[in-house]
C-alpha cells in the first residue's frame, strides 16, 4: 500500500506530538490514510480508539465500510470482529469504538468519558463541532498512563470563525502536527470525471474551488446568496413546540466515488410559524444506505413525511423510500426552475428572520456561503435538500410573520 508522504507522520510511534490536524479538500485521501493508520494501530495491544463525529447516524453504514474496504484489500478478515459500533482486533484485543458526541438528549461527553482506557481520540468531520468546552472535556479524558496519547482531528476547513481555527490554526502550535493535502496530491487515484469536475469548478467558481477542492479556510463570502452573519443572527439552541417535521432529500444521481453527496436534512415548522433546521445527515450513500439513514432520521424525530427531489429516477426514489418506510407519506418534487430561482424565496425567509438553525451545521452552512448560484456546475446537494424542505414547509396557508413582529419562541422542546 503506497502512502502519500504528507501522511507518514501519522504512522510514527510514539507520536511526536499529542495533536494531529488532518485537513484537505474533496478527494485528498484523508479518510483513506486515517482509517489505514487506525487499523494498523490496533495491532498494538492495549489500545482503545474512540472514533467520533459530532452527529453520527448508523456507523455501520456511514463509516465502518471504509474500514471493511481496507481489511478486504489487505486480506485481514480473520484478524477482526466487526459489530455495528466497534471493530475489534482479534490478535491484540485493541479496538475502535464509534460514537456520536451530540445526541437527542444533549452532548454525550459524560458517556464518552466513561469508556475505559482510551488512548486515541479521533474527531472526524471536526468542522461540525463548535462546542469548545465539549472538545476540551473529551481531550482531557485522553490520559492513558502507559501508552502514547493521541488526538486526531480530520476536517474540511470551514470559516475562520470556527473554534478549531482559533485554537490550532491561527498560530501553529508546537504540540501539534499539521497534515494538509488536496486532490492534486492524490490525482493518480482519482477518475478523469472527478478531475474534470474540479477543473470546471476552478474555471467557473474559483472561490468554491479553493474551498471545496483545495481545502482553504474562508471568510463568509460577500456578494453570494447567503452569508454567515445572516445565519448567525437568527441561530438558536432550542425550538418552540413543533407542529410539522419533515425529512428533505436530494438524492445523488450516481453512487460511485465521484458522486455528489445525497442531501438529507431534517426540518420543522414551529408553533410560531418559523422554520427550524434540526439535523443535517447528508453524506455519500448508496440508495439503500440513504433510505435507511432517512428512516432512522425520521424515526428519531417522529417526522411526518419525506420530501424528495425526483428529477433523476422519480419512481425509483419514491419506491426506495416506501421500501424502508410504509408508514410515512412520500412527496416527490421536480425542478422546473433554475437553482437560483428556487433558492431566492428561501433566502428571503432567512432575511425576514423566519429560519433558524438549531445549533451549528458547518458542512451545510459552508456550502450555503460558498455557493454562487450564477456560476459553477457542482450540485449544492445539502442546499438543494434545504431548499426543497423549506419550500414544502412554507406552503402553509398561515402566512409566517417576520421575526420582528412575531412572538418570541416558547422553548418547550429542546432539539439539541
Residue 353 is classified by DSSP as T
Task: Return d(Cα 375, Cα 327) in angstroms, integer.
Answer: 40
Confidence of residue 377 (pLDDT cuts 50, 70, 90): very low
Res 222: pLDDT: 45
How far apart are the C-alpha atoms of 360 and 367, rounded to whole Å?
Answer: 13
| CATH number for the domain running over 228-393 | 3.30.420.10
Q: Is 86 helix (H, G, I), strand (E, B) or coil?
A: strand
Statement: residue 293 has pLDDT above 60: yes
**pLDDT value of position 357:** 97
Torsion of CA 397, 403, 406, 409, to 10 degrees: 100
Q: What is the pLDDT of residues 150-194, one digit of tens each?
A: 999 999 998 888 999 999 999 999 999 999 999 999 999 999 999
pLDDT tens column, 51-100: 999 988 787 888 898 899 889 988 999 999 999 999 999 999 999 999 99
Give 237-277 as a 3 state SS string: CCECCEEEEEEEEECCCCCCCCCCCEEEEEEEEECCCCEEE
User: Cβ distance 358 to 415 under 8 Å?
Assistant: yes
pLDDT category of residue 312 using cuts at 50, 70 and 90: low
Question: Which stretch of DSSP H or E encloses residue 32?
Answer: helix 30-41
Burial state string for 173-206 with b = 16 or more CB within 10 A and e = fewer than 16: eeebbbbbbbbebbeeebeeebeebbeebeeebe
Higher pLDDT, 361 or 409: 361
Q: How far apart are CA 366 and CA 382, in angstroms?
A: 10
pLDDT exceeds 50 at position 398: no
Predicted confidence (pLDDT) per residue in 135-160, tens digit: 999 999 999 999 999 999 999 998 88
Would you state the pLDDT for residue 107? 77
pLDDT for 289 equals 92
pLDDT of residue 207: 76
User: Which residue is it, cell 448567525?
Assistant: 232
d(CA 63, CA 218): 27
Higher-confidence position of 114 and 352: 352
pLDDT-based confidence at residue 104 (cuts at 50, 70, 90): low
**pLDDT score at 378:** 53
pLDDT number for residue 109: 81
3-state secondary structure of 381: helix
SS3 call for 399: coil
Q: Is the pLDDT of residue 321 over 90?
A: yes
The distance from CA 35 to its chain's CA centroid, rounded to whole angstroms, is 17
The C-alpha torsion from 345 through 351 and 357 to 358, rounded to 10°, is -120
* Predicted confidence (pLDDT) per residue in 13-50, tens digit: 899 999 999 999 999 999 999 999 999 999 999 999 99
pLDDT, position 337: 65
Domain ranges of the chain: 5-193, 228-393
Give residue 406's pLDDT band: very low, low, confident or very high (50, 70, 90).
Answer: very low
- Determine the Cα–Cα distance for residues 291 and 373; give it in Å rounded to an integer: 28
Given 3.20.190.10, 3.30.470.10, 3.60.130.10, 3.40.50.300, which CATH number is that of 5-193? 3.40.50.300
Name the least confident of 24-28, 119-123, 250-254, 401-405.
Answer: 401-405
Cα-Cα-Cα-Cα dihedral sign, residues 297, 303, 307, 313: positive
The answer to whether 301 touches 278, Cβ cutoff 8 Å, is yes
Mean pLDDT, the chain, whole residue set: 87
pLDDT band, very low/low/confident/very high, at 257 (cuts 50, 70, 90): low
What is the pTM (predicted TM-score) of this model?
0.69
Question: What is the grid cell recorded at 221?
Answer: 463570502
Amino acid at each position: 500500500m503506497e502512502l502519500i508522504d504528507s501522511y507518514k507522520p501519522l504512522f510514527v510511534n510514539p507520536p511526536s506530538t499529542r495533536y494531529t490536524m488532518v485537513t484537505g479538500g474533496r478527494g485528498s485521501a484523508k479518510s483513506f490514510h486515517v482509517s489505514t493508520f487506525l487499523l494498523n494501530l490496533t495491532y498494538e495491544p492495549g489500545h482503545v480508539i474512540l472514533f467520533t463525529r459530532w452527529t453520527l447516524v448508523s456507523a455501520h453504514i456511514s463509516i465502518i465500510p471504509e474500514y471493511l474496504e481496507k481489511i478486504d484489500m489487505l486480506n485481514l478478515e480473520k484478524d477482526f470482529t466487526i459489530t455495528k459500533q466497534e471493530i475489534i482486533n482479534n490478535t491484540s484485543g485493541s479496538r475502535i469504538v464509534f460514537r456520536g458526541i451530540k445526541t437527542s438528549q444533549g452532548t454525550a461527553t459524560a458517556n464518552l468519558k466513561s469508556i475505559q482506557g482510551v488512548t486515541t481520540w479521533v474527531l472526524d468531520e471536526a468542522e461540525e463541532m463548535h462546542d469548545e468546552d465539549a472538545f476540551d472535556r473529551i481531550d482531557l479524558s485522553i490520559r492513558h498512563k502507559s501508552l502514547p496519547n493521541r488526538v486526531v482531528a480530520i476536517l474540511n476547513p470551514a470559516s475562520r470563525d470556527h473554534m478549531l481555527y482559533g485554537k490550532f490554526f491561527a498560530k501553529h502550535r508546537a504540540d501539534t502536527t499539521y497534515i494538509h493535502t488536496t486532490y492534486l496530491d492524490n490525482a493518480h487515484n482519482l477518475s478523469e470525471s472527478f478531475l474534470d469536475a474540479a477543473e470546471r469548478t476552478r474555471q467557473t467558481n474559483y472561490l468554491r474551488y479553493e474551498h471545496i477542492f483545495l481545502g482553504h479556510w474562508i471568510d463568509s463570502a460577500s456578494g453570494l446568496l447567503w452569508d454567515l452573519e445572516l445565519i448567525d443572527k437568527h441561530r438558536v439552541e432550542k425550538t418552540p413546540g413543533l407542529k410539522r417535521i419533515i425529512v428533505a432529500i436530494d438524492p445523488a444521481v450516481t453512487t460511485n466515488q465521484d458522486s455528489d453527496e445525497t442531501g438529507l436534512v431534517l426540518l420543522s415548522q414551529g408553533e410560531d410559524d418559523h422554520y427550524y433546521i434540526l439535523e443535517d445527515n447528508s453524506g455519500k450513500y448508496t440508495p439503500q444506505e440513504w433510505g435507511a439513514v432517512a428512516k432512522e432520521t425520521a424515526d428519531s424525530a417522529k417526522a411526518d413525511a419525506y420530501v424528495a427531489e425526483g428529477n433523476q429516477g422519480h419512481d425509483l426514489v419514491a419506491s426506495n423510500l416506501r421500501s424502508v418506510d410504509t408508514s410515512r407519506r412520500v412527496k416527490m418534487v421536480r425542478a422546473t426552475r433554475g437553482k437560483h430561482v428556487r433558492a431566492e424565496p428561501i433566502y428571503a425567509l432567512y432575511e425576514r428572520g423566519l429560519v433558524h438553525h438549531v445549533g451549528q451545521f458547518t458542512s451545510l452552512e459552508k456550502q450555503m456561503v460558498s455557493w454562487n448560484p450564477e456560476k459553477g456546475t457542482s450540485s449544492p446537494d445539502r442546499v438543494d435538500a434545504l431548499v426543497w424542505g423549506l419550500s414544502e414547509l412554507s406552503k402553509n396557508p398561515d402566512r409566517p410573520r417576520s421575526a420582528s413582529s412575531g412572538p418570541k419562541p416558547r422553548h418547550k422542546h429542546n432539539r439539541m
